[in-house]
């Protein structure tokens, strides 16, 4: 579909942003669908250095990952959306010395929550412009989410590699709508506001942020507790700081997250039973309780055996600590 009239493009783009906010998305930016040549070189180097660990899927569909026009035929635009998941302070689960899970996993699986909203956006858009070629993505296809958020002017990529918005920090899910609609592009990528700050690098207990803007995923606590299917290497024992699913350390220390605001999504709130879990409850969790407690939860990814492995790993004291 070709919308040649620039006034129409501008009006439609504004309407899309208004509808996105109505659906609960905090920020929306639009960029031209084109090949990511510079990012392709960086990604290829990162993969060749093995920084993706055993996540072999990151090597797949490389050509689609770096060019959205190969995901959607005739693609002209990428609508990038940010959806807040920062919990209210009183809902933060890991008080004091308890076991910790990433904030994004407190409630229901974000893929389901956001895809419902994206479907509403697509149906609404088709009512306005008629049929068009387009696909919605929520961290479920070879799309370089953070890059498109930067290009859409709604974030910059921080030294911890995460997308950061100056108004609300980095506790966001990223989604996209890639389509053949010609829209008004936000041609002012956001500047980098990290400055001289290195708190995320200094705080990472496994040194996964090897240099500013470069994360060795194979050293990350999130990788060890979610993606890695084998035993966790002993050389990182004692470094997990009680994280048993994911890790938020580099976000928690980021000064920009002082500006984060509590989300307004009921689906992301933790179940009451989860809020009451103490260390003993975690250590004695049964598969039946796991299935009930985490039905429809991101924690299902690690499976019961994986969660038990993680709990055991962070609970054991290194031999050198006993001496």
The distance from CA 149 to its chain's CA centroid, rounded to whole angstroms, is: 12
Cα 155 from Cα 168, distance rounded (Å) = 10
The DSSP 8-state label assigned to residue 94 in this structure reads -
Which is nearest to 87 in space by CA: 226, 274, 242? 274
Scan for tokens 């039973």, then name that residue: 273
139 in active site: yes
Q: How far apart are CA 292 and CA 270, in angstroms?
A: 13
- Residue given tokens 């609609």 in the structure block: 181
Identify whether the C-beta of residue 129 lies closer than 8 Å to the C-beta of residue 1. Answer: yes
Non-local (6+) Cβ contacts of 289 within 8 A are none
Q: Which H or E run contains 80?
A: strand 77-84
Q: What phi and psi, each to the nearest 5 degrees, are found at residue 315?
A: -85, -30
Residue linked to tokens 């041609």: 187
Q: Angle, nearest 10°, between helix axes 110-129 and 6-22?
A: 140
Task: Determine which one of 139, 192, 216, 252 is catalytic.
Answer: 139
Do residues 109 and 296 lie in contact, with contact meaning Cβ atoms separated by under 8 Å? yes
Q: Catalytic amino acids? A: 139
């Amino acid at each position: 579909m070709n919308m040649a009239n620039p006034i129409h493009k501008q009006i439609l783009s504004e309407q899309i942003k208004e509808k996105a906010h109505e659906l609960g998305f905090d920020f929306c930016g639009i960029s031209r669908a084109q090949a990511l040549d510079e990012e392709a070189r960086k990604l290829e180097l990162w993969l060749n250095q093995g920084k993706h660990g055993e996540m072999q899927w990151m090597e797949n569909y490389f050509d689609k990952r770096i060019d959205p026009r190969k995901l959607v035929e005739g693609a002209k635009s990428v609508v990038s959306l940010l959806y807040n998941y920062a919990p209210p302070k009183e809902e933060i689960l890991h008080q004091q010395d308890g076991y910790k899970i990433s904030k994004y996993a407190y409630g229901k699986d974000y893929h389901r929550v956001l895809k419902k909203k994206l479907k509403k956006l697509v149906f609404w858009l088709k009512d306005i412009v008629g049929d068009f070629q387009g696909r919605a993505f929520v961290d479920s296809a070879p799309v370089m989410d953070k890059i498109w958020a930067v290009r859409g002017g709604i974030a910059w990529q921080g030294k911890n590699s995460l997308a950061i918005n100056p108004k609300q920090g980095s506790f966001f899910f990223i989604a996209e709508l890639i389509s053949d609609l010609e829209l008004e592009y936000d041609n002012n990528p956001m500047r980098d506001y990290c400055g001289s700050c290195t708190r995320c690098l200094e705080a990472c207990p496994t040194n996964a942020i090897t240099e500013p803007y470069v994360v060795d995923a194979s050293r990350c606590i999130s990788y060890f507790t979610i993606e890695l299917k084998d035993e966790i290497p002993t050389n990182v024992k004692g470094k997990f700081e009680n994280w048993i699913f994911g890790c938020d350390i580099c976000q928690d220390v980021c000064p920009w997250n002082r500006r984060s605001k509590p989300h307004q999504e009921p689906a992301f709130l933790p179940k009451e039973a989860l809020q009451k879990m103490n260390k003993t409850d975690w250590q004695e969790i049964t598969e039946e309780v796991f299935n009930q407690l985490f039905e429809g939860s991101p924690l299902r990814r690690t499976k019961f055996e994986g969660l038990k492995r993680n709990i055991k790993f962070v609970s054991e004291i290194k031999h050198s600590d006993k001496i």
